[in-house]
Amino acid sequence: MNWGCGLNPGMLKWVRGDTCSMKKRLTIIVFAVAGFVLHLFFIHTVYAAAPLKFSVHHLDSHAPGATVLVVGGIQGDEPGGFNAAALMATHYKILSGRVIVVPNLNFPSIVKRSRGIHGDMNRKFDTLGPGDPESETIVRIKSMIQDPDVDVILNLHDGSGFYAATHVNRLRNPGRWGQSIIIDQEIMGPGSTKNTTPFSNLARAAATCAKDINQQLLEPIHRFHVKNTHTASGNKEMAKTLTFFALKHQKAAFGIEASKSFPTSRRVYYHLLAIESFLTQAGVGFERSFPLTEAGIRKAMDQDIALSLGNKRVLVFAENVRKRLNYIPMEKGRDIQFAVNHPLMTLVPQGDYFSLFHGNRQLTRLWPQYFEYARGLEGIQMVVDGEEQSIFFGSVVSVKDRFLVKHIPDHRVNIIGFSRQKASNESGFVVRRKNFAKRFSMDRAGRIFRVEVYESGKFNGMILVDFRPGNGAVKLVNRGNNPGGKKQFYQ
Ligand SMILES: [Zn+2]
């Protein structure tokens, strides 16, 4: 997958405002049960009170075909839309044509769980007040919409209730938005250069999408309808929106609204059905790496998500993570740099602790303990289920039954929660899951534990041991590169 960071250096980063350079990109390889899963991590630096920029993900098949731009998170309190877009970025492979995904357009509002911390961003596409704090975001996304390669734009929303053409009740009536495909007018304007595409007839394409979705409804009352806002005939509110801006620039654009009456995973389900229908209509081939069910969506949303800190010496495995993690060894006297492997994840400083967010969910709070870092070692030697392994710091090692950390002269190994021995240095012991006090695990299931290495009071690095079943005998997350150069393992 291509996370597009080369084009969009501001991704997921707290910046000072004057700088936007990506620090560095690194690669982490997860050895999964049936092969390799590649994650790209990005390093960011935490500065308080600075904006988060949106990220752009280019899913390019390098085969001819249409280009679809998918935008999520224009309003920060609509998680169905931005999680659907994020899943597109992380779990879809495009086989023909191209999909460009912006999963987090209004990232600062997403983290704050607000529709818009600086007002409604989807009313800023006609005119923009002078000095609007979101002008940079608007300028950037407008230029992406106007990119001559882009054929169709999907703007993902979660809408209230259920749209119905006639009044049924308080939740189902023409004033509601949920479960609808929004068009601004029936046919693209005469100036459109895209008149030959299947989307020049907006009403027909939207109706096809609704029909496709309606064949896979979880319940009949979830039925989708097409809602035409007739924007050009005097709808002043809709004239300020992203889709109408696109239309004015001869680009076909649709709003997709999943109902806010649903939990997030169900909203995502309907968003993905809508997106897949439009991709199919555009002739864009795709593969999805999870089953399109609510359970499949919930699992995929958090699968293998991780945060890396301290120049990759610390790894927080964030899938099913505990609400609070204590004594995370952070580096004294330095800006906190972090890397994440999911476009909706970010780390927010909160005074004494840090919140790790996934969209508008706070996954965990990291309570730091500050250390000087020692950089003499890049990893450790372990014996895992009888097999000797070299493990980089910042890795996850899958353990079936037992492991042992080999002795390192002048270093202290601290296996957090290892309760069998009171030894201050815990290298050289055979350790099984039953030897841990479960409350010290990083995950809520009590299966992932921290092993930390110190050298006369300085922190060297952490690895995670993963006792989750079904992970295979020797699964590990390898850091994939070695920025430390010659400083290798202690052998
Ligand atoms: Zn919305």
Q: Ligand 1 centre from 57 Cα, in Å?
A: 21
Q: Ligand 1 centre from 85 Cα, in Å?
A: 14
Q: Burial of 78 by CB count in 10 Å (0-12 exposed, 13-18 middle, 19+ buried)?
A: buried
Q: Would the pLDDT of 24 be above 80?
A: no
Q: Ligand 1 centre from 294 Cα, in Å?
A: 21
Q: Ligand 1 centre from 109 Cα, in Å?
A: 12
Domain range 2-298, CATH architecture:
3-Layer(aba) Sandwich (3.40)
Q: Ligand 1 centre from 203 Cα, in Å?
A: 20
Q: Ligand 1 centre from 44 Cα, in Å?
A: 29
Identify which of 237, 277, 278, 273 has the alpha carbon closest to the alpha carbon of residue 258.
Answer: 273
Q: Ligand 1 centre from 361 Cα, in Å?
A: 18
CA–CA distance, 192 with 9 (Å, rounded to integer): 32
Q: Ligand 1 centre from 78 Cα, in Å?
A: 6
Q: Ligand 1 centre from 73 Cα, in Å?
A: 8
CA–CA distance, 111 with 354 (Å, rounded to integer): 13
Q: Ligand 1 centre from 79 Cα, in Å?
A: 10
The pLDDT, as a whole number, for residue 423 is: 76
Q: Ligand 1 centre from 439 Cα, in Å?
A: 40
Q: Would the pLDDT of 229 be above 60?
A: yes
Q: Ligand 1 centre from 358 Cα, in Å?
A: 19
Angle between helix 264-282 and helix 79-91 axes, rounded to 10 deg: 60
Q: Would the pLDDT of 425 be above 70?
A: yes
Phi first, then psi: what are they for 203, rounded to 5°?
-65, -40
The pLDDT, as a whole number, for residue 254 is: 98
Q: Ligand 1 centre from 77 Cα, in Å?
A: 8
**Is residue 474 within 8 Å of residue 385, measured between CB atoms?**
yes
Q: Ligand 1 centre from 117 Cα, in Å?
A: 14
Q: Ligand 1 centre from 121 Cα, in Å?
A: 9
Q: Ligand 1 centre from 110 Cα, in Å?
A: 12
The pLDDT tens digits of the residues spanning 290-307 come to: 999 999 999 999 998 999
Q: Ligand 1 centre from 168 Cα, in Å?
A: 22
Residue range 262-291: mean pLDDT, rounded? 97
Q: Would the pLDDT of 164 be above 80?
A: yes
Domain ranges of the chain: 2-298, 307-371, 379-488
CA–CA distance, 19 with 179 (Å, rounded to integer): 41
Q: How many CB atoms lie within 10 A of CB 472?
A: 12
Q: Ligand 1 centre from 106 Cα, in Å?
A: 11
The pLDDT, as a whole number, for residue 335 is: 83
**Residue 209 banded pLDDT, cuts 50, 70, 90:** very high
Q: Ligand 1 centre from 74 Cα, in Å?
A: 7
> Between the CA of residue 391 and those of 20, 401, 414, 453, what are the distances in Å?
33, 17, 16, 12
The pLDDT, as a whole number, for residue 192 is: 63
Provide the whole-model pTM: 0.86
Q: Ligand 1 centre from 239 Cα, in Å?
A: 15
Q: Ligand 1 centre from 248 Cα, in Å?
A: 20
Q: Ligand 1 centre from 32 Cα, in Å?
A: 37
Q: Ligand 1 centre from 353 Cα, in Å?
A: 32
Q: Ligand 1 centre from 247 Cα, in Å?
A: 18
User: Mean pLDDT over all residues of the chain?
Assistant: 86
The pLDDT tens digits of the residues spanning 180-200 come to: 999 999 999 776 655 557 899
Residue range 320-334: mean pLDDT, rounded? 95
Q: Ligand 1 centre from 263 Cα, in Å?
A: 16
Q: Would the pLDDT of 150 be above 90?
A: yes
Q: Ligand 1 centre from 401 Cα, in Å?
A: 49
Q: Ligand 1 centre from 417 Cα, in Å?
A: 45
Q: Ligand 1 centre from 260 Cα, in Å?
A: 10
CA–CA distance, 65 with 85 (Å, rounded to integer): 20
3-state secondary structure of 212: helix
Please give the full DSSP string across 283-334, using - where no structure is assigned. Answer: T--EEESS-SSHHHHHHHHHTT-EEEETTTTEEEE-TTB-SEEEEEEEETTS
Tell me the longest C-alpha to C-alpha distance in the chain: 79
Residue range 5-9: mean pLDDT, rounded? 26
Both tokens assigned to 260: 């806010």
Portion of the chain with pLDDT greater than 70, in percent: 83
Residue range 351-360: mean pLDDT, rounded? 95
CA–CA distance, 373 with 334 (Å, rounded to integer): 11
Number of Cα atoms under 13 Å in the Cβ half of residue 374 = 16
The pLDDT tens digits of the residues spanning 80-93 come to: 999 999 999 999 99
Q: Ligand 1 centre from 446 Cα, in Å?
A: 38
Q: Ligand 1 centre from 418 Cα, in Å?
A: 48
